[in-house]
Chains A and B, each alone.
Chain A
C-alpha cells in the first residue's frame, strides 16, 4: 500500500477529516506530552493528510500521546487529533510482530500498587 492509500485508511479508521485543520496549532499548544514528542499533534494531522505516515509510524511519538483529549476538546475546527494518533498507532500494531508491548515485559514494570487498569489499558493501546 502506498502512502496516500495508507493516509486514506488512517482517515477511515480515525473518522477524522484532516482537511478541516486550519493549522492554528492549538492542539500542540495544549498538549501535555508535547516536549516528549518528536512529532506533535498538529504534525500528525498534517502528515496524515500529506501521506507521510511512515515517518509517524517509526516515531516513538505515537506511544507518547496520553489520550487526555485536551486537543480534541479545544480544537476550533473539530478535527480530533488524538483520533489520528490512535489510528496511526493501530495501523502500526495491527501489522505482524509490531506489538509495542509484549507480556514478557510486564513483570519488570510492576510494583505493589499498580492498578490492573494500567495493565489492561497498556495492552489495549499498545498491542494487537
Chain B
C-alpha cells in the first residue's frame, strides 16, 4: 500500500496537479509517527503508511490549503469525516486539496502491544487477523483485536466522504458499531459511581492541551481558553475554573461538530478516555434530535444550530438514563 501511495504521489507531483503531499513520517521510533508535508518527490523517501499511522491529518489542511498550490492528501475514512466537517465550517479551501481515500482496517495501539510484554518495537505489518510486530528481539505475533486501538475496534465507518479518488477498496458504514456501549454502561451507573469514575479519570489531567491541539474540531484561530475577553483564560493550575471546566467546555464546543475520530484519547499522555465525553453528546443528539453524523452531509444543519418546535424540554434529563 505504502509503495503504491508513494508512486501515485510522484505521478501527481510530476504532472503538476499537486505541488505538495500530506502524509506521515516516522519519528524517533517506528511507532512514533506524525503527519508530515512533503514538498517534492525526493522527500517522499520518508513517507510511511503502516498500521501505526493513526494520526488524523485533516486539521493540517486548514493551513496547507491557504498556501500556494494544491496539496495531495491521503485520508482514512475517519479523517475524511473531519475533513468534510472542516469544509462545512469554511476552514479548508476544497479547491486546494486533492483527496485520495485510503482504506483503514484498524490501527495498532502501541500501549496495548507493550502491555502484552512486547518491547523494542521496530515495525508492524498486518497478516490476516494478526499484527506481526518486528522487534529487536525478533518477530512477535499478536491478535488484532488485542492490539487494535479502542476507536478502531468500535469503528463507525470504513466509508469515506468527499474524495477525489480511491486507492484500495471502499468500505461501508458500520451500523453495528458498538461505540456507544461504554457510554451506555456509564449511564446505567448511579451518579455516585459515575462521579467516582470521572474523578478517577479527570483528576489525572495535566492540562497539557494535547487533546485540544490534535482535535480537528478545535481549530479556533484563538481558543476561548486563550481569549482575554472570555475571563476564563487563566493558565494557573489547581482548582481554578479553567482547570475544572476545561473538558466540559471543550466537549460542549465541539458538540455536534465532533466526528468521533478519537484523536483526543489517542494523544492523551494520561490515557484519559476523553472521547467518551464527545460520544455522550453524540449519543444524546442521536437519541433526542435524530441520527446525526458530523461531516457526513454538507448541507445538513448541525444539531446545535438547529431546532424543532417540539424538541424535548431540558427536564427530560431528570427522567431519562442513569440510575437515581
The answer to whether A and B touch directly, with their CB atoms under 8 angstroms apart, is: no
Chain B interface (Cβ within 8 Å of chain A)? none
Chain A interface (Cβ within 8 Å of chain B)? none
